[in-house]
Every structure is written in C-alpha cells, then in structure tokens.
Amino acid sequence: MADQKNIAVIGAGPGGYAAAFLAADLGMQVTLIDRDPNPGGVCLYVGCIPSKALLHVAALINESAHAKNWGVSFAAPKIELDKLRGFKNNVVAKLTGGLGQLSKQRKVKYLRGTASFVDSHTLNVKKQEGGGEERLRFDNIIIATGSRPVRIPGISIESPRVMDSTGALELPDIPKSLLVIGGGYIGLELGTVYAALGTKVSVVEMTGGLLPGADRDLVRPLAQRIQKSFAAVMLNTKVASVKEEKNGVRVRFEGAEVKEAEQVFDRVLVSVGRRPNTEIEGLERTKVTKTQRGFIEVDLQRRTKDPAIYAIGDVAGEPMLAHKAAHEGKVAVEAIAGHRGASFEPRAIPAVVFTDPEIAWCGLTETQAEAEKRQIKVARFPWAASGRAVTLDRTEGLTKLIIDPETERVLGAGIVGPGAGELIAECVLAVEMSAVASDIKLSIHAHPTLSETTMNAAEVYFGTATDIYRPLSARGAESRG
C-alpha cells in the first residue's frame, strides 16, 4: 500500500518537488533532500523563473521602442540595476517560499544537505544546517539531481568576467559588450535580456545556424530580428582561446567565415549546453547504470536497473525540461504506489524558446521527419494573414502543423511569434489525443486572436483557409519525406 511506503527524493527541482508532493498526497512518508533553503532547484533559483522575469522586462523595453512605429514615443529607459535585480530576486523568493510552505502543509520532511548512497535503500545526508550527518533508510529512492552547465576546455568560468547562465542571471552589471558562446536557447534568451538593457551582444555558434536542431522556418524570424538587435552573429565559428586582460576578455575565433580573428569583450557568457548531475557519491554501491553520455538508464516507469531506485528529470535523459521532469516525477511515484498503467510515454513534449519572437514546437518536427525519411504534409499559416498579428504589428510569425498524409492525424506543430509558448498547448493536446486536421479546423476559435492561426493552418491543409489563398490541390499543404 502507498501509505506504507517511506521514500526519499534527492533533489528538489520541478521533478523532485512534484514527486515528493504527490507521494505525500498518496499517504507516503516523504523526505526531500536538497542544498537550497526551499524547494525549487535550478529552474526556480537560477534558471527558468529568473530568466523569464528578466525577459518580461526586456520585452517591455523592446515594445516601448517599437511603439515609435505607431506614433507613440517614450523617453529612453533608465535602468536601475538594483531595483531590477530586486524584482527578479523577489519573484524567486515568492515562488520558492511558497513551495516551502507547501512542503510543510504536506508534512514532507525537508532536509538541507547533500545525500550519498550507502546502499540501495540507505542514504547518508551531510546537513548544511547545524552540520553533522544523518543516516536514513527508505523503501524507495528517487534521484532528481538535475544538471549543470557544460564547461568548454580551456575556458575558465571562475573568472569574474566569464560567466555561465547562473552568473549572468545575477546581473553583476550591464556590460558595454558581451559575447555569448553558443547559439542555443539559453544563450539567446540571456543575450536578449542584455541587449534590451543596452549591451552590445555578439553570439558565436559553431554550426551553420542558431538553435541547431530546430526547424529552420521557425528559427528564421528570430534570426532576422537578432541580426538587428545584436551587434554580431558569427556562425560556423569556433572559439579558439579566451584570455583575460586588464580591460576585458580577448577572444580568438576560428572558422572560414571569421571577419575579425580577435575581439575584446567586457564579459563572456558560456552557454553550450548542460550535463546531468549523476556523479553521486556511493551510487556505485547500487545497481544503477548510466549511458555513455552520463544519463541514468531508466524504464518507462523511470525505474533504474536497481528496483528500489528511480530517476527523473535531467539525469534521466533529454529533453532537459522542467515540465518533462515534473511529469516523470509523478509517473515514478505512481509506479512506486503500485498504480496500474503508470508509464512515461508522451507523444508530445513542448519545447519553448522565450526569445523575441518566441519559438515553440511539439511532437514530430520537419527536421526529425526528414532524418527518419518519413512521409508528412506540412500546412503553414503565415501571421501576415492574421488580423490579430497585424494589430500587434508583429506579422513575422508562423504557425504550422505536421500531418500524416494517410490518416490526417496531427503528428506535430511549430509556432514562431509573440506568445508562441502559450499557443503551443493546444497543439500538444491535439497530438496526445490523436486529433486529425479536421478536428482543429472544425473547432471554432475566437477572432481576432493568435490562437486561431492553429485553426487557419488546419484550413490551409484542406485548401479552404479564408484569409490566405492556397489551391485545393494537395490540400494546400507541402509534402515532405
């Protein structure tokens, strides 16, 4: 029975606290272990939440500048860094403090400290408060230790001028110039913040495009906007060396497209990915196994090769996303509780890049379909034909559906434009519920809204879109595969 279970969760991020709270709700005795004063993990303390608070400020600054096109002018923004930093910190404190209260309400035992394995059922916790150690035994243990930024060999992020994402979110100052190493979503989001605050931001990416792996038609509007708001975008370029000097950081670049082999920046942000925190002391005393990339191997219930131990979130494999971790945490707890059907088998996990414009996608992408040589049809609706997008003066957006040509099932979707992260939820539901294109077409959407572009894309598939002309032949969609 669930109420007889005594479990531990190592790591109090979105996956960890979601697992701990559900376990407590099911009547289990729960111990949640983490080094921070309250649950929240990287996401709430130094990741998703503080970055989105700053991106909200950046969006406001950019919107005020854009308003000149509408005949409304504002004075140049005055940045009070202490207040801005305080706003961000208050957001973090409010949310993490709330989670601390929820832990107490659920009678979850919260231990501040670092856990190590004695065996498959026993943990040793080095306490941060009061010192000392505590040895505890459990029926089951869930590993939810998250991930950390990848370091580039030869580039020391211990230098105060060279930051990782955590350091950048501290807003130590507003540098005159900033180099972002890595054109992924974390680097571009933080680059967007600093550019809005007045920094001349340059980004260097070793591949031929920003956001490698994402569909190019979704990335294109963002890339065009970044070309205008950033000082430089250097593609197919590698960082050969970084040297700190009196007046900045000298960076040497390599690549066929390099125009300036060496440049000096006030600060450098290293953002080239994350790696799982699976170097847990004593883990070798269990039957837990890892992949070559360091992820813990798990089954559909998130159970490791050790039947008493489960793993969720970033340590259990990609995608490294908070909402994926939370869902995995619930599945693991349900499996421990003996619930039939507990299994992590999502058809669509949404991914969102909170830049300006936002990019979001779910399910099968065009890039994946091409790699798998899979037959698909793609129905695109450009936001230039959206009345709501025109009223917002943001017509660069796009909504597209990836459709199975035989069954007309919606296999995936992609959106680029303001609010894409909110709009993608309908598409996730469509994929999960095995909706067909006509289901979306026949669902009446409010007008004028950006959400109706999903309906419009479905209409494009059938060649019946009111606001854009696409011939009925081939249902107005492009074949791929």
pLDDT value of position 469:
85
Active-site annotation holder among 56, 121, 327, 447: 447
pLDDT value of position 473:
46
Query: Side by side, which strands form the sheet with 309-311?
Result: 133-137, 122-127, 109-119, 29-34, 6-10, 140-143, 309-311
Residue 389, sorted as left (phi over 0), alpha (psi -120 to 50) or beta, turns out to be alpha
Provide block-wise average pLDDT over 10 residues at a time, the chain (481 residues). 81 98 97 98 96 97 95 95 97 98 98 98 92 94 96 77 95 97 97 98 97 97 97 96 92 92 96 96 98 97 98 98 98 97 97 98 97 96 98 98 97 98 98 98 98 97 90 55 53
Name, in order, each residue with C-beta under 8 angstroms of 336's C-beta and a sequence gap of 6 or more.
2, 5, 7, 23, 28, 139, 140, 142, 310
pLDDT value of position 159:
82
Name, in order, each residue with C-beta under 8 angstroms of 88's C-beta and a sequence gap of 6 or more.
50, 53, 54, 169, 171
Residue pair 200/223 in contact (Cβ under 8 Å)? The answer is: no
pLDDT value of position 157:
65
Q: For residues 227 and 78, give the distance between their C-alpha atoms in angstroms, rounded to a whole number.
A: 24
447 catalytic? Reply is yes
pLDDT value of position 94:
98
For CA atoms 188, 189, 194, 197, the dihedral sign is: positive
User: Which domains does the chain possess?
Assistant: 2-149+276-336 (3.50.50.60), 162-272 (3.50.50.60), 351-480 (3.30.390.30)
pLDDT value of position 1:
45
Burial (CB count within 10 angstroms: exposed 0-12, middle 13-18, buried 19+), residue 433: exposed
In terms of Cα–Cα distance, which of 417, 426, 277, 406 is closest to 363?
A: 426
E strands, 272-408, where? 274-276, 309-311, 351-353, 359-363, 376-382, 398-403
Residue pair 218/352 in contact (Cβ under 8 Å)? The answer is: no
| Vertex 392 angle, CA 389 and 393, to 5° | 85
pLDDT value of position 158:
73
